[in-house]
Amino acid sequence: MLDLKQGFALPGLLGLIPAVLVFLEPDWGTAALLGGMTLALLVVAGALGATTLAILIAHNTVRLTRALVFLDPEAHRFGAGWQVWQSLLAIGSGGWRGSFLNGSPHKFGFVPEEQTDFIFARIGEETGLWGAALTLLLYAGILQSGLRIMKQADNRFSRLLAFGCTLAIVLQALINMAVATGSVPNKGLPLPFVSYGGSNMIAMCVCLGLLLNVARHNPPAAPPAQPAAGSG
């Protein structure tokens, strides 16, 4: 992994090619997710950490508008920032306990794509702060379990596989919730296991299956040492 060509260039190229193709589609959110996962895997694998990457950002009005909305969503609330602004209103109106299931008015067209990219806004409105916090804790549980599986794996490939699958779930969830709360510019990523759609559900289930497979083949933990007979 300390070799520039074998440890960074080739694996980075294999990981970034699909990210570039998705970026050109264009789907910048998924491209950012793929690129971030690739770089994180290389760092965890032990690749050269001081390698500098040059990022060429093309001029694009859509991307510029999203950046402006992120900086000041209220100023664009009747235009490009309508989706984010309504999402913030929905989450804020949920309060501590929420409006109970199916009792949210914002789902009736106020928050576009509330069944996919902005499903967290509906969670916040209908279940309140407690439901939103529980959702965050569930993904934290996946992160903790995935890292534990990675730590207990008996070979490098299994460790990287466990880390990559965990990152694919948790990073996507964090980006989705950050977009819904206006913490990052709009990326258009679903919330794993929650958003409507079959393809993402299949991909996330595959990640969980791979994690369980790595855990299944982990060596059993050594039992705690028992005190010798007669000692005391």
Mean pLDDT of successive 10-residue stretches along the chain, which has 232 residues: 60 73 72 72 57 42 61 67 76 78 63 79 86 93 92 87 89 89 78 88 92 84 60 52
What pLDDT does 65 receive? 65
Classify 228 in phi/psi space as left (phi over 0), alpha (psi -120 to 50) or beta.
Answer: beta
Whole-model pTM above 0.85? no
Tens digits of residue pLDDT in 43-86: 666 555 434 343 433 445 555 566 666 666 666 666 667 677 77
What pLDDT does 138 receive? 95
The tokens for 51 are: 């390698």
The tokens for 173 are: 């969830």
Residue 163: how many CB atoms within 10 A of its CB?
23
